[in-house]
Amino acid sequence: MDLFEYQGKDFFARYGVPTSSGSIVRNAADAGDVADSTGYPAVVKAQVQVGGRGKAGGIKLVGSREEAVRAAGEILGMNIKGHVVRKIWIERASDIEREYYASFTLDRGEKKYLLMVSAKGGMEIEEVAASDPGAIVRRHLDPIDGLSVEVARQVVEEAQLDEVAREPAAQVLVKLFDAFIQGDADLVEVNPLILRPDGSIHALDAKVTLDDNAGYRHPEWEAYRADMELDGREALARERGLNYIGLDGTVGIIANGAGLAMATLDVVSQVGGSAANFLDLGGGAGASTMANALEVINTDEKVRSVLVNVFGGITRCDEVAKGMVEALGKVELKFPMVVRLDGTNAAEGRAILREHESERLVVEGTMVGAAKVAVEMAGKEAK
Amino acid sequence: MSIFVDENTKVIVQGLTGRQGRFHGLRNRDYGTQVVAGVTPGKGGTDIEGIPIFDTVKEAAAATGANASFISVPPKAASAAVLEAAAAQVPFVVCITEFIPAKDEAMVSALLRRDFPGTRLVGPNCPGIISPGRCNIGITSGDIALAGGPVGIVSRSGTLTYQALYELSQQGVGQTTCVGIGGDPVPGTNFIDCLAAFEADPETKAVLMIGEIGGEEEEKAADFIRSYVSKPVVAYVAGVTAPPGRKMGHAGAIVSGSHGTAKGKMDALRAAGAVVAKNPTEAGELMVDLVAHL
């Protein structure tokens, strides 16, 4: 789960990482009162789950109530890389001496945690990584050892943070590491991590991705989850317990297993079509799961055909076929459907579906064949 | 021959008394695997269809001479289960458990490296391993595999593993061993471990490798293939058109650079001499062709 900045700051605060306090505003009209209570100069920041909002104009410095209301009006509703801004965060502007960068992630290849620190923080960190990789200090941390303050001190020195910043930065890194570990985050990133004129270190931004698998030990995450913004289809899919990601194409995809679902998207594109979604049914795709999947896809206005790609391993194809027939009895589909069944009991499964075969329900034996039919159908339906 | 397991492998099932563990453990036994014991704390002395249950892995291993463990327990209990098996000196552990927190995986991996280098973990979140006709540990349906080789399979994806097995078997091309290494962030066994084992296995004549977007294991495998694998490799990487997801922050991009995309992985594998297929069906066809000309 990717947190919004304001949630990330709340998350940081739990682990003692210093951040600015502020408030969330959903209507421009409310921005004046909030900014007044924050004090000026204040910063109005778009809350979107994507990087690069600064460059896109989603962050504005304001010096008065009028400016705050105007900035809020401009930013709310703004589209930043496909993300519509529905919330803004207003906080008191910080005095900035220097901008640094710090992050913790898991380096899969090394099977260790990776701490990265740079004295060249700010908006252009990816360019720094490309043009001046030496300016980013990388330190792998063994999970057993964690991060000691001694190692944190070495890293900030190596990264050539200003001398006055080093000790407080090392202390903040240790707290940030606590947030990363105890908070079960896949990523914590602060850009910029600022040095203030009084010599203190402060997280001016917060990018946090939480590990959904660890949710069972964090009841406090429920508040974050409740505030997530999903489009209608994705919200419905989550409610139904499906692994669904909305895309922009015309062929709806239903597959069992994430790998097979990805392969299905690939094949649809190879035969000249475009997928409307990624949908993994998971193991044991029974009638209710299938009905849920069809219902979610049914709500997508762009879909012109649907491709069901099931490979029976543990899941038996005859059971999938029975489930599908039952699901079709419950859901009235807006589009024609192609079904590819292969694997365990595939012949029996196809036989069950053939009894219901029509122009609107076609049974195919291979993945590529099924994709071709689905793309053809989508083309015809579009006309 | 086969890699990691064979007809002499004796398997403990940790979690045999649970619904999943019982279902898959008994299926593995029906396949012909020597499933010699189950472990569930507090249920020692009972049995599941004749398979004795012990309270601890140590007791089970001592009583039965087991040399492998199949872990099918909930995510909260999985890390402790892996470490228990390792502490009991079980050399080969398959963990199918899904949804284990990444921090737990990283810690288990570090502890295995430091304290139990004699234990190989396959998984978690994987279908397991099957050496057709000899041993099946995990959730792969034995019906879709074909004994006799000559192909070794290693895959990050569950359903694509089944798909690969099935397509080869349908064409009469058998497998020596098929390892599902799982798609989690910190897998116990990776592509390189399996490629090295297949290279050393005289019965394996060619390797089918199935990757996915994310991480850089496929790129590392490509480097390994170039330097150390003399046998032909056919590869498929899923996710050329995969949704980019809601990537946040820059740390991932800084770490992996151009790595991680399906295209980058396929280019690396092709450059290393592997035959790269554009979809799983083509991967099967290319391998059938290749085997016909061996």
CB-CB under 8 Å, A256 with B248: no
Question: Could you tell me which residues come within 8 angstroms of residue A195 by beta carbon, excluding any fewer than 6 positions away?
Answer: A96, A97, A98, A100, A161, A162, A164, A165, A169, A201
How close, in Å, is residue A331 to chain B by CA atoms? 27
Whether B183 has its CB under 8 Å from any CB of chain A: the answer is: yes
CB-CB under 8 Å, B216 with A262: no
* Least confident among A302-306, B113-117, B237-241: B237-241
How close, in Å, is residue B162 to chain A by CA atoms? 6
Closest CA in chain B for residue A265: B241
Q: What is the pLDDT of residue B141?
A: 87
Chain B residues 69-98 within an 8 A CB cutoff of chain A? 75-76
Proportion of chain B above pLDDT 90, given as a percent:
80
| ipTM of the shown complex | 0.90
CATH superfamily of this structure's domain B141-292: Succinyl-CoA synthetase domains (3.40.50.261)
Proportion of chain A above pLDDT 90, given as a percent:
66
Q: Between these two residues, A48 and B56, which has the higher pLDDT value?
A: B56
**What is the rounded average pLDDT for all residues in chain B?**
93
Arithmetic mean of pLDDT, B166-174: 93
Question: Could you tell me which residues come within 8 angstroms of residue A217 by beta carbon, excluding any fewer than 6 positions away?
Answer: A184, B101
User: Each residue of A103-122: pLDDT tens digit?
Assistant: 999 988 889 999 999 999 98
Catalytic positions of B: 250
Whether A108 has its CB under 8 Å from any CB of chain B: the answer is: yes
Which pLDDT band, with edges at 50, 70 and 90, does A52 fall under? confident
Task: Assess whether the previous peptide bond of A192 is cis (omega < 30° from 0).
Answer: yes
Arithmetic mean of pLDDT, A127-131: 84
> What are the chain A neighbours of B163 within 8 Å (beta carbons)?
260, 263, 311, 342-343
Which residue of B22, B98, B159 to mutate against A (max A Cβ within 10 Å)?
B159
Closest CA in chain A for residue B100: A213
Count of Cβ atoms closer than 10 Å to residue A331 Cβ: 16
Q: Between these two residues, A46 and B262, which has the higher pLDDT value?
A: A46
- pLDDT of B244 > 60? The answer is no
Q: Between these two residues, B30 and A245, which has the higher pLDDT value?
A: B30
pTM: 0.91
User: Each residue of A63-92: pLDDT tens digit?
Assistant: 999 999 999 999 999 999 878 999 999 999
User: Each residue of A179-221: pLDDT tens digit?
Assistant: 999 999 999 999 999 999 999 999 999 999 999 999 999 999 9
**What is the rounded average pLDDT for all residues in chain A?**
91
Q: What is the pLDDT of residue B246?
A: 45
- pLDDT of B5 > 50? The answer is yes
* Least confident among A88-92, A161-165, B75-79, B164-168: B164-168
- What is the rounded distance in angstroms from the CA atom of residue B281 to the CA atom of residue A39? 63
- pLDDT of A246 > 90? The answer is no
How close, in Å, is residue B281 to chain A by CA atoms? 7
Chain B residues 120-149 within an 8 A CB cutoff of chain A? 127, 139-141, 143-144
- What is the rounded distance in angstroms from the CA atom of residue B30 to the CA atom of residue B242? 38
CB-CB under 8 Å, A143 with B103: yes
Angle B64-B70-B73 (CA atoms, 0-180°, nearest 5)? 120
Q: Between these two residues, B95 and A240, which has the higher pLDDT value?
A: B95
* Least confident among A143-157, A360-374, B27-41: A360-374
Residue A9 near residue A203, CB atoms below 8 Å: yes
Which pLDDT band, with edges at 50, 70 and 90, does B176 fall under? very high
Q: Between these two residues, B176 and A320, which has the higher pLDDT value?
A: B176
Which pLDDT band, with edges at 50, 70 and 90, does A287 fall under? confident
Whether A99 has its CB under 8 Å from any CB of chain B: the answer is: no
CATH architecture assigned to B10-122: 3-Layer(aba) Sandwich (3.40)
* A118 class by beta-carbon count within 10 Å (0-12 exposed, 13-18 middle, 19+ buried): buried
- Does this chain's domain B10-122 share its CATH topology with B141-292? yes
CB-CB under 8 Å, A267 with B99: no
- What is the rounded distance in angstroms from the CA atom of residue A58 to the CA atom of residue A280? 34
Closest CA in chain A for residue B185: A108
Comparing CB atoms, the residue among A111, A189, A263 nearest residue B106 is: A111
- pLDDT of A57 > 70? The answer is yes
Whether A229 has its CB under 8 Å from any CB of chain B: the answer is: no
- What is the rounded distance in angstroms from the CA atom of residue B143 to the CA atom of residue B272? 33
Which residue of A106, A108, A264, A309 to mutate against B (max B Cβ within 10 Å)?
A108
Arithmetic mean of pLDDT, A231-252: 84
User: Each residue of B14-31: pLDDT tens digit?
Assistant: 999 999 899 999 999 999
Q: What is the pLDDT of residue A78?
A: 94
Which pLDDT band, with edges at 50, 70 and 90, does B41 fall under? very high
CB-CB under 8 Å, B255 with A214: no
Arithmetic mean of pLDDT, A29-38: 94
Domains within chain A, CATH numbers bracketed? 21-92 (3.30.1490.20), 98-222 (3.30.470.20), 232-382 (3.40.50.261)
Comparing CB atoms, the residue among B113, B217, B242 nearest residue A262 is: B242
Q: Tell me the domain boundaries of chain B.
A: 10-122, 141-292
Chain B residues 197-216 within an 8 A CB cutoff of chain A? 210, 212-213, 215-216
Amino acid making up residue A252: G
How close, in Å, is residue A93 to chain B by CA atoms? 22
Q: Distance of alpha carbon A314 from its chain centroid, rounded?
A: 30
CB-CB under 8 Å, A189 with B249: yes
Catalytic residue among A67, A99, A189, A319: A189
- pLDDT of B245 > 60? The answer is no
Q: Between these two residues, A364 and A285, which has the higher pLDDT value?
A: A364
Comparing CB atoms, the residue among B113, B185, B212 nearest residue A262 is: B212
User: Each residue of B52-110: pLDDT tens digit?
Assistant: 999 999 999 999 999 999 999 999 999 999 999 999 999 999 999 989 999 999 999 99
Which pLDDT band, with edges at 50, 70 and 90, does A268 fall under? very high
Whether A269 has its CB under 8 Å from any CB of chain B: the answer is: yes
Whether A191 has its CB under 8 Å from any CB of chain B: the answer is: yes
Whether B163 has its CB under 8 Å from any CB of chain A: the answer is: yes
Q: What is the pLDDT of residue A108?
A: 85
How close, in Å, is residue A143 to chain B by CA atoms? 6
* Least confident among A7-16, B186-195, B234-243: B234-243
Arithmetic mean of pLDDT, B274-289: 94
Interface size A-B, in CB pairs within 8 Å, comes to 191
What SS3 string covers chain B?
A: CCCCCCCCCEEEEECCCCHHHHHHHHHHHHHCCEEEEEECCCCCCCEECCEEEECCHHHHHHHHCCCEEEECCCHHHHHHHHHHHHHCCCCEEEECCCCCCHHHHHHHHHHHHHHCCCCEEECCCCCEEEECCCEEEECCCHHHCCCCCEEEEEECCHHHHHHHHHHHHHCCCEEEEEEECCCCCCCCCCHHHHHHHHHHCCCCCEEEEEEECCCCHHHHHHHHHHHHCCCCEEEEEECCCCCCCCCCCCHHHHHHCCCCCHHHHHHHHHHCCCEECCCHHHHHHHHHHHHHCC
- pLDDT of B259 > 70? The answer is no
Arithmetic mean of pLDDT, A256-261: 88
